[in-house]
Chain A
């Protein structure tokens, strides 16, 4: 398993302001790439471009050597993106939330697998509570359960540590490293200080 996401001469202009210009990126299997930069330097925008949400950019994106436009469907089938908002429906239970996410990628999944994924993020016993009654950190954990549940090679995580307690942070960090070491790839922004690790690489914006 190997994958690679490349950006060539990437530039993004938002309302006459260049957020970044001439950016060359190579993101490969076995890496955690951390995007750094001050507020407003375009970290979130860059993640949105690299996860195929924003198409308003200059330059080229390649997924495994193929131009993104052609490889888009294949790319999305390998991508797991978690944004600022956890994307957890308050009116549904954690189990129902996960079931929808699984179905979105075309798989039915199984209830025991979902329960196991929730248990892995420390939500055993909360499976059927409406997500609206969970705390912000617990809702974030529901979203993070998708990392275990859905096998995706490329993780794009925008501030995944928000609202997570200390033990949760350590567990998530370990999970990121394990994912990279098993050939996956993580693209992350965070204000949290990540422990140095041979798989960690930094990219400075702004």
Chain B
């Protein structure tokens, strides 16, 4: 007979390593959201006007919305392959808290989608003539915000993983929940442009992240259990 062994850190580390290895072996999946991000940003000047002044005034919102959509695109695959090959079943049967293991998977998702998007955003900001002085805030607000987006989005991904065509439904479920993050994220960049204080915005983004970190893992775990029995 075995007593429960603990070893939660071992399990979390191994899950982080496994997901990172898997993603880095399929580089395309890491690059696709970035290319999508760049493409969408290219569409706006073409669809609206190449006028730098006009673009500069809407750049914070455009960059944030495009990054949000790019992050959303990659969500569907978060649990999908694990579901298909049966390893999700095994994850649920591990003698470890599922919420913690789910959190590890979300962390990898953010590290390989949210963070690269945040780092790439200033580059696209130049193309939209984003006013100087707001570039660092753009990257910072995106890095902070996309972490919340990954957590909230993972709930939607967990709820729809058992459905054959969950992709569009996933966006329908998740996008309304993204709105507060979008408001304060884009608001931070806006405030930086107007030379106002950005501390409040970033603090609220941080608070949203803290709340998501506290609650989302439980919702993800519950949703995965529902989906595996679908």
Contact = CB atoms under 8 A, between A and B. Distances in A.
Check A-B contact in the complex, CB < 8 A. Answer: yes
Interface stretch (A32-40, A86-94, A189-197): A86-94
B210 interface: no
A203 interface: no
A108 B10 contact: yes
A104 B89 CA distance: 12
B1 to A, nearest CB: 6
A102 B96 CA distance: 12
B96 A87 contact: no
Main secondary structure of the interface of B (DSSP, over half): helix
Interface string B205-230: 00000000000000000000100110
A83 B1 CA distance: 23
A105 B14 contact: no
- The CB with the most chain B CB atoms within 10 A, among A53, A77, A83, is that of A77
B90 A87 contact: yes
A188 to B, nearest CB: 17
- The contact size tier of chain A is 35 or more
Interface stretch (B18-26, B35-43, B50-58): B18-26
Interface stretch (B69-77, B80-88, B113-121, B136-144): B80-88
A61 to B, nearest CB: 15
B195 interface: no
A74 interface: yes
A86 B85 contact: yes
A88 B88 CA distance: 10
Contacts of A52: 93
A96 B15 CA distance: 11
Interface of B: 1-8, 10-11, 13-15, 18, 21-22, 25-26, 81, 84-87, 89-96, 101, 225, 228-229
27 contacts: A1-B1, A3-B1, A53-B229, A73-B4, A74-B3, A74-B4, A76-B4, A76-B94, A76-B95, A77-B2, A78-B1, A79-B93, A81-B89, A85-B85, A85-B86, A87-B85, A87-B89, A89-B22, A89-B85, A91-B22, A91-B26, A100-B15, A103-B13, A104-B90, A104-B91, A105-B95, A106-B96
